[in-house]
Structure 1
Amino acid sequence: MNEDKLFLTYNQQMKKLRNDKHIECNGSNHKKILVRAGYFNIVNGYKTPFVSGQDASGNHIYISGTTISQLQAVKQFDDQLRSFLLKYITQVEEETRTLAGYKFDECNDNGKIPWYDTNAYSPNKSLQDKMSVISKAYNELSRSQLDYVKFYMDNHKQIPTWIMIKVVNFSTFIDIIHCSKIDISHSLCQLYGLEDEQGRANVKLLIGSLHWMRKIRNACAHNERVYCLTRKTY
């Protein structure tokens, strides 16, 4: 078995950090960091700011004087950043879902054209795209365990738009906006001042921003690192 994969006690982990990585890790306080955060989480997750290069074997070389406490400080910053971002991302998510649900019904004859009718969506989108997003929304509603969804399923003939918009996954919600009539995306652009150089609603920026927000939101929700999260460049 690869030596790096062997089980190591906390004391052995501390010794490995000191001898192999030259990261200061001594005493009960440093040991508590490993107990609470875990070796992989604290070292592999937050070592990057302290790496100064690589040796001939490809192993990381750390800035002289690096301590496990400093790695923990980066983790604490990341924890605070995650909480901060999640607070405002969920606020924006609630706002966009609320306004989109309202505008969806408003531009569909005040709700007389239901969300599961392809006529409720943009005539510029293909039938396949519209059927796909309707199918995804219906499947997610049918799997929902929320009380109010079950109530509507059991006592009404259809699920209203506002419930559908509220319940579907964020990725499905973005697809709905992308396939919906232009009034919906334009109202969201207006809400957040997303305009191009000519002052026109920048729908491409809106959709891209929502996808990027979704990526950060998922990272926050799953307690993944966010301080080093970047967009892929092509």
Structure 2
Amino acid sequence: MQNCLKNSRFTMLIRRNYVVTGKRTDGLMRHLRDDNGIDISGSRQKKELLSIGYYHGYKGYRFIKVSTNPIGYNDFDEVLAVYNFDMNLKTLLYPNIMAVETALKNYTLDTLVSFGNLDLETAFNNFLNDYRSHSSSDTAYKTKLKSYLSLRSKIDGAISHYYKKHDAIKHFLHNGQPIPLWAIFEVLDMGQFGLFLQCLNEPIRRQNCSNLNLTYRGLDPDGRLVEVIIFLLKDLRNAVAHNGVIFDCRFKGNTNAKPLIKNYVSFETSINNIDFSDLVDYFILIVLLLKKIGKTKTDLKRLIRNFKDETETLRNQIPVNIFNAIIGTDHNVKLTALEAYV
């Protein structure tokens, strides 16, 4: 009884002291004008603010990378321009990044066929055994074994989560048959797939890179390039798929691209200053991969042209200093070189 009274008093205290309040749209417009120096007025801009939302829309697009680096907007139409640019790029990138993910999984399956049966237990015993290349007393052995065990746990979790929803996995489980890797790959997210690639032994990794024509032995002697690509793209893929903000690459957090991928993309495309601090570098990598998996020159040039059109539209709608802070000062040079590459 005392606990019930105590919980009741606690609930009343929360309700009394933590009332959630909000502003009507007119109040939010005054806040933008008076506190943020952004000119916004009239029924058109009011409807546009309602459409994009103050919290998901304006607040998500009011800064570059971190909230301590605000964008100096003067007019609400500039906010809309950046918002629309971001949304249009996600529409442009989504089918292409999904095509890359699907192709990399299929190419990996094609590689694994040469090394044994394509079921899960064979994979764990014969493919995902990179840790065995070290003595059990080595630090590398312990690190790689931990990754191997983590992968097993993640795959078991994916099977448990999806078996009622995924007809193929349900079929093989109910019939007591080994689950084929193609079915496993369908339920692995990009990060889990990257961990799968990381656990592959070196001969398979190198063959997989060769199969994808992602090879340059001086840069990648042990075949790590495909997994590095996957780990680099996974956060962009998730942001695109779940409508996160992408224009300023905030999806990557504090992680930095590895020298291997920066050097490889520069070597392959002859484009300098690839560091993945701006979205154009991710776009270059996606185009590179689309070329490797057989997309036509016509399709690639159309994709590049569409990307350029979006950046030019943005350039014409916001001040130059904001545009350069978002896009980078060398994006035109990079896109021209990318057109020459394809």
The alpha carbon displacement at 1:162 in A equals 1.6
User: CA RMSD for the aligned pairs?
Assistant: 2.9
Q: Does 1:16 align with 2:31?
A: yes
1:1-234 alignment runs, 5 A limit: 6-48=21-63, 62=72, 66-108=74-116, 110-111=117-118, 114-115=121-122, 117-121=124-128, 122=130, 123-124=132-133, 126-144=144-162, 145-196=165-216, 198=218, 203-230=223-250, 231=252, 232=254
Q: Does the C-alpha gap of structure 1 residues 199 and 15 become closer, same or farther in structure 2, counting only changes over 3 Å?
A: closer
Q: TM-score, normalised by structure 1?
A: 0.80
The alpha carbon displacement at 1:112 in A equals 8.0
Q: Does the C-alpha gap of structure 1 residues 197 and 168 become closer, same or farther in structure 2, counting only changes over 3 Å?
A: closer
**Does the Cα contact within 8 Å between 1:190 and 1:201 map onto a contact in 2?**
no
Unpaired runs of 5+ residues, structure 1, are 50-57
The alpha carbon displacement at 1:138 in A equals 2.6
Q: Does the C-alpha gap of structure 1 residues 197 and 179 become closer, same or farther in structure 2, counting only changes over 3 Å?
A: closer
Q: Does the C-alpha gap of structure 1 residues 62 and 162 become closer, same or farther in structure 2, counting only changes over 3 Å?
A: closer
Secondary structure at the counterpart of residue 48 of structure 1: coil
Aligned residues: 220
The alpha carbon displacement at 1:188 in A equals 3.8
The alpha carbon displacement at 1:47 in A equals 2.4
**Does the Cα contact within 8 Å between 1:21 and 1:61 map onto a contact in 2?**
no
The alpha carbon displacement at 1:164 in A equals 1.5
Unpaired runs of 5+ residues, structure 2, are 1-19, 134-140, 257-342
Q: Does the C-alpha gap of structure 1 residues 86 and 183 become closer, same or farther in structure 2, counting only changes over 3 Å?
A: farther
The alpha carbon displacement at 1:177 in A equals 0.9
**Does the Cα contact within 8 Å between 1:115 and 1:161 map onto a contact in 2?**
no
The alpha carbon displacement at 1:25 in A equals 0.7
The alpha carbon displacement at 1:206 in A equals 2.7
Secondary structure at the counterpart of residue 24 of structure 1: coil
Q: Does the C-alpha gap of structure 1 residues 186 and 149 become closer, same or farther in structure 2, counting only changes over 3 Å?
A: same
Q: Does the C-alpha gap of structure 1 residues 152 and 37 become closer, same or farther in structure 2, counting only changes over 3 Å?
A: same
